[in-house]
Structure 1
Amino acid sequence: MRVGLELGAFEWPGGTAAIGDTVARFAQLADEAGFSSLSTGDHLWQGFNAGGERAPYLECFTTLAVMAAHSRHCRISPVVAGVHFRHPSLLAKTVTTLDVLSGGRASVGLGVGWNAEEAVGSGIAFPPVAERFEMLEETLAILHGYWHGEEGDGQAYEGRHYRLERVLGVPQSITRPHPPIMLGGAGDKTLRLVARYGDACNLYPTPDMPDRLERLREICAEVGRDYDEIEKTCCLPFDVTGGGDGDDTRQLLDTLGQLSGQGIETVIGIVATADPLRQVELIGSKVLPELAGE
């Protein structure tokens, strides 16, 4: 099993002035410890589960660029980018730039978004969910167009939500045929998009998760996609205190083992604690070695 980390909160001792150094050190420590990926979410306001809108939050891709600059091996990805925040052309250029500057380590997680209050409060359109799914499907088609061949096909694209006179991207990504695409969500609409366009799915460890993976298998069979080609990922909070008896890390290992038994290949741990560096050190020293020895 692979384990990645998502930095989910930015409120630490030292205040705003300490954020830059902490993000950089977080990435460096995670990379050295052997975590598979580094991520952050894509929001303008902090979520209710990590302090609410008055808590600090950083722009996603700028933060990922800092993480990329302070790591050498981890893949770098938003988990997940809201389709309503960026035009597909800008998203394609942003992810390609991240891939080029990181030496071919970028991935892109995408979803339909959920925080209407955040979007509307910031003056950003937040259409009904059915329209956002249409936007997501068109965005996926456009991304594939940008990353096709050597420079993109240069052809026009016309959909209901997006119209492009030329789909042209120079330079192309280092990762070929394109940076991996992960889609967040467990509904049938999302799983069908995974089967058609995705390289990975991202779920939460809810009781119906095994059923959702089985549903993805069925959809893959319907459309002729190899289910085993798709990376099965799962997000959950990581918080170990590292007590002398090791109970917290053992509990995490048990949880990871259960998820592996259910078909999950990669777990992305959301770190939203007051001391994220300590979390990286503990999990990196106590959990990753045991997983490697399986």
Structure 2
Amino acid sequence: MKIGLELGSYTWDGGPARIGETLADTVRTADEAGFALIGVGDHLWQGPHAGGLEEPMLECFTVLGAIAAHTRNCLLGPVVAGVHLRHPALLAKMVTSLDVLSGGRAMLGLGVGWYEEEARGLGIPYPSLGERFELLEETARICHRLWGDGDEPYEGTHHRLERPIGVPANLSAPHPPIMIGGGGDRTLRLVARHADACNLYPGPDLAEKLALLRRHCEAEGRAYETIEKTCILPFDVGPDGAGCGDLADTLRGLAGQGIDLAIGILSGPDPVRDVELLAGKVLPALD
């Protein structure tokens, strides 16, 4: 099983003046240690689970561009981008730009979004859940169209593209992988139809959700094995790495259930320390 990381907080030692330096040190350390993915949460306000809007939050793709400049090997992308925040053609261009600048290391995590207070507070339209699911499918279709050949018009329920062209093309072949986050029936149907990976929470119903994904793949004529199975969970290493043993056990259990990639949310004040502990105590235990 591969291990990735998500930056879940920017409440780091040294405050805002040191965020850039801490970010660079963290991602360089993670990349050199062999973490497969560095993801970034896509919000404009910090979520209430991590302190709310009083805590610092940076724009996702700006951070990903900075990460690309300080890494050489890991995959990069939003985990996950809310489809209500950007027009799909702009989102596809942003991912292609990240892909080109990183040497072909971009991925696109997509989700229907959930932070209504953030959207309302900043004047961003926040459609109904049903409409956001429609936007999720349209966004996946438009990205595939812009990352493919041809320039035939695209007509959707919410968007119309007269000439879906993007130059330069992405470096990733055949395109940056698309991961869709969420474990509901409608979400997993869209994974089977449009995505390269799912992203689930490791709850007691994980096996049930994977079985549901398998059934949707069968219905769509898609090989279940072609979809990467990912989980996202907090990586709490504890004081002096005391939590690393339990975390390694949890990750081995997820691997046994068929998870290909575990994405750990980093939320402590010293992310460099946390990455070093994970690299020194958790990765070797998994090997």
TM-score by length of 1: 0.96
SS in structure 2 at match of 1:189: helix
Deviation of 1:249 after TM superposition, in Å, equals: 1.0
SS in structure 2 at match of 1:232: strand
SS in structure 1 at match of 2:126: coil
CA offsets per residue over residues 220-263 of structure 1, 9 Å max, x none?
111110000100000000121364xx641110110001111111
Deviation of 1:155 after TM superposition, in Å, equals: 1.3
Counterpart check, 1:251 vs 2:233: no
CA distance in 2, matches of 1:69, 1:277: 17
CA distance in 2, matches of 1:139, 1:10: 28
Where does residue 291 of structure 1 map in the other structure?
A: 286
CA offsets per residue over residues 70-95 of structure 1, 9 Å max, x none?
00000001000000000011001000
Aligned-residue identity in percent: 59
Quick one: which amino acid aligns to residue 196 of structure 1? R
SS in structure 2 at match of 1:270: strand
Where does residue 96 of structure 1 map in the other structure?
A: 96
Where does residue 157 of structure 1 map in the other structure?
A: 154
CA offsets per residue over residues 194-217 of structure 1, 9 Å max, x none?
111100000011111110000000
Counterpart check, 1:180 vs 2:177: yes
Unmatched 5+ residue regions in structure 2?
none
Counterpart check, 1:226 vs 2:238: no
Quick one: which amino acid aligns to residue 194 of structure 2? Y
CA distance in 2, matches of 1:285, 1:72: 20
Quick one: which amino acid aligns to residue 93 of structure 2? K
Do the aligned partners of 1:242 and 1:249 also contact (CA within 8 Å) in 2?
no
TM-score by length of 2: 0.98
CA distance in 2, matches of 1:75, 1:156: 31
SS in structure 2 at match of 1:24: helix
Where does residue 24 of structure 1 map in the other structure?
A: 24
Aligned length: 287
Do the aligned partners of 1:182 and 1:199 also contact (CA within 8 Å) in 2?
yes
Give me the CA root mean square deviation.
Answer: 0.9
Quick one: which amino acid aligns to residue 151 of structure 2? G
CA distance in 2, matches of 1:161, 1:188: 22
Relative to structure 2, which stretch is displaced further, 225-234 or 5-14? Answer: 5-14
CA distance in 1, matches of 2:79, 2:213: 20
Where does residue 52 of structure 1 map in the other structure?
A: 52
**After TM superposition, where is structure 1 displaced by more than 3 Å over at least 4 residues in a row?**
none
CA distance in 1, matches of 2:262, 2:132: 26
CA distance in 2, matches of 1:290, 1:250: 8
Where does residue 194 of structure 2 map in the other structure?
A: 197
Quick one: which amino acid aligns to residue 41 of structure 2? G
Quick one: which amino acid aligns to residue 253 of structure 2? Q
CA distance in 2, matches of 1:257, 1:275: 25
SS in structure 2 at match of 1:71: coil
